[in-house]
Amino acid sequence: MIRRHKTTIFTDAKESTTVFELKRIVEGILKRAPEDQRLYKVTQHPLRAPRYTPRDTRHEITDVQGTEL
Structural domain spans, the chain: 2-65
What is the structure's pLDDT at 33? Answer: 92
Cα–Cα dist 25/46, whole Å: 26
Low-confidence spans in the chain with pLDDT less than 50: 60-69
Do 37 and 26 touch, CB atoms closer than 8 A? Answer: yes
Cα–Cα dist 16/55, whole Å: 45
Q: What is the pTM of this model?
A: 0.53
What is the structure's pLDDT at 9? Answer: 79
Do 50 and 64 touch, CB atoms closer than 8 A? Answer: yes
